[in-house]
């Protein structure tokens, strides 16, 4: 693997006006710069550069458009009250990026290339990290196939790009439960497919179902397994947890579920607090039974964007299941506060999750 000798820097001559921190939304505004590195079969990864944020030019035959060879990651940088810049478990993102790359037959990216890119780009655009409670700088690394050829084979050329977006508080008025539609017909992934990879196509395949759930008044879709449509997998862009009779349950990583970094962290936090947590197969029938019998105490989704998203209602084949009277449960609230406190540097970090980025 070719080791880049240094990142070329082309500074943006015009600086954008930063939007007010209470109007950031999610992934709407982008910082002044972006990072790019190219891959060519004969050269490996080469020519790393930080350039002004701008459109990219691709050949219409680029393989990404036709065969969808593309993967992405998502992580956040936070600025602490004393001005330090922290990343949450970035090592996990590079490991997952390379697992996704492997599944999509995309060449591996060197860890040092990834960390160097993150560090330099954050350093250049550090003034873009918002500071208001709940805000952060969302970082979106992605890789896609650029070879202009229609023959069905893995691309010989790729680009790895990182863009960054200041994002607002997910819950400006406090943590709020969402209503979730259990998808009875379409499926997201099957074992042996690409459900474990963070690849664009998984989302493209989910949009139709998500839109029809929205029309019915539901925020997201809960996916069931692709074979029996019986076992719970995950929600939209989140993993899912249920507190049943004092124990927390989450679907095990069976090969079709995305291995969420928030999921992994929640499991560690629960163990640390001596709250029993089981990773296992959970059927939707079993969940409804527990709900009807009064044992389903809380439900929540986990992911980088929201951290914790409590679930207030499920709808499966027109049968509604209201959880915790549609309110946020104590455990969901406690987990949200603990994890977002660690991320923002206001709470101790017993696991050594936070990585400080020292900027110039
Ligand atoms: C990214 C993602 C998640 C959450 O993963 P985190 O690492 O916690 O952000 C869950 N499910 C899917 C399908 C995802 O793409």
- Please give the full DSSP string across 199-268, using - where no structure is assigned: BHHHHHTTHHHHHHHHHTT-SEEEEEPTTTS-BEEEETTBEEEEEETTEEEEE---SSS---HHHHHHHH
Tokens 């190219």 appear where?
Answer: 38
Mutate to test the pocket of ligand 1, among 26, 27, 74 (most ligand atoms within 8 A of CB): 74
Kindly state the percentage of the chain with pLDDT values over 90: 95
pLDDT band with cut points at 50, 70 and 90 for residue 130: very high
> Which residues lie closer than 8 Å to 195 by C-beta, 6 or more apart?
188, 189, 202, 233, 255, 256, 257, 258
pLDDT tier at 3, thresholds 50, 70, 90: very low
> In whole angstroms, how far apart are CA 52 and each of 84, 135, 224?
25, 23, 42
Distance of CA 46 to the CA centre of its chain: 27
The phi and psi torsions of 194 (rounded to 5 degrees) equal -115, 20
Nearest-CA residue for ligand 1 atom 1 is 237
User: Running DSSP on this structure, what letter comes out for residue 23?
Assistant: G
Q: Which residue of 97, 203, 258 sits with most ligand 1 atoms within 8 Å of its CB, as the best mutation to test the pocket?
A: 258
Using CA atoms, how far apart are residues 320 and 314, in angstroms rounded to an integer? 6
Report the C-alpha gap between 193 and 336 in whole angstroms: 32
Q: What is the pLDDT of residue 360?
A: 77
Whether residue 155 has its Cβ less than 6 Å from ligand 1: no
Per-residue pLDDT tens over the stretch 217-255: 999 999 999 999 999 999 989 999 999 999 999 999 999
Question: Residue 5's pLDDT band (boundaries 50, 70, 90)?
Answer: low
Contacts of 2 (CB under 8 A, 6+ apart): 43, 44, 45, 46
CA distance 190 to 193: 5
Helices (H), 68-174: 90-103, 111-124
Q: Is residue 262 lining ligand 1, measured as CB closer than 6 Å?
A: yes
- Residue ranges and CATH numbers for the domains of the chain are 8-167 (3.30.470.10), 178-344 (3.20.10.10)
**Which among 195, 81, 93 is positioned nearest to 139, based on CA atoms?**
93
Measured in Å, residue 14 CA sits from the centre of ligand 1 at 34
Cβ burial of 99 (10 Å; 0-12, 13-18, 19+) is: middle
pLDDT tier at 359, thresholds 50, 70, 90: confident
Among residues 45, 164, 65, 162, which one has the least CA distance to residue 107?
45
| Beta carbon of 237 within 6 Å of any ligand 1 atom | yes
pTM: 0.96
């Amino acid at each position: 693997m070719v080791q880049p000798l240094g990142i070329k820097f082309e500074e943006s001559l015009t600086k954008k006006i930063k939007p007010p921190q209470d109007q950031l939304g999610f992934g709407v505004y982008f910082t002044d710069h972006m990072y790019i590195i190219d891959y060519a079969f004969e050269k490996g990864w080469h020519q790393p550069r930080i350039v002004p944020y701008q459109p990219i030019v691709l050949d219409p035959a680029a393989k990404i458009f036709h065969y969808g060879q593309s993967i992405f990651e998502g992580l956040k940088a936070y600025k602490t009250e004393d001005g330090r810049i922290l990343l949450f478990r970035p090592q996990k993102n590079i490991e997952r990026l390379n697992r996704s790359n492997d599944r999509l037959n995309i060449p591996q990216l060197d860890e040092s290339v990834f960390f160097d890119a993150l560090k330099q780009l954050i350093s250049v655009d550090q003034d873009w990290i918002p500071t208001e409670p709940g805000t952060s700088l969302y970082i979106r690394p992605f890789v896609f196939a650029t070879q202009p050829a229609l023959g069905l084979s893995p691309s010989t050329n790729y680009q790895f790009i990182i863009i960054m977006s200041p994002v607002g508080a997910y819950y400006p008025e406090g943590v709020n439960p969402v209503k979730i539609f259990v998808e009875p017909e379409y499926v997201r992934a099957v074992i042996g497919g690409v459900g474990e990879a963070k690849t664009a196509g998984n989302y493209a395949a989910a949009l139709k179902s998500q839109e029809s759930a929205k029309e019915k008044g539901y925020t997201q879709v809960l996916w069931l397994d692709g074979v029996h449509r019986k076992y719970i997998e995950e929600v939209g862009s989140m993993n899912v947890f249920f507190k049943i009779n004092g124990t927390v349950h989450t679907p095990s990583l069976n090969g079709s579920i995305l291995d969420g970094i928030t999921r992994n962290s929640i499991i560690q936090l629960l163990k640390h607090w001596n709250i029993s947590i089981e990773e296992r197969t959970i059927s939707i029938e079993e969940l409804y039974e527990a709900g009807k019998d009064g044992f389903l105490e809380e439900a929540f989704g986990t992911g980088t964007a929201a951290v914790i998203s409590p679930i207030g209602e499920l709808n499966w084949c027109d049968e509604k299941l209201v959880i915790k009277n549609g309110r946020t449960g104590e455990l969901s609230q406690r987990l949200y506060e603990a994890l977002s406190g660690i991320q923002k540097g206001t709470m101790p970090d017993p696991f050594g999750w936070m990585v400080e980025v020292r900027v110039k």
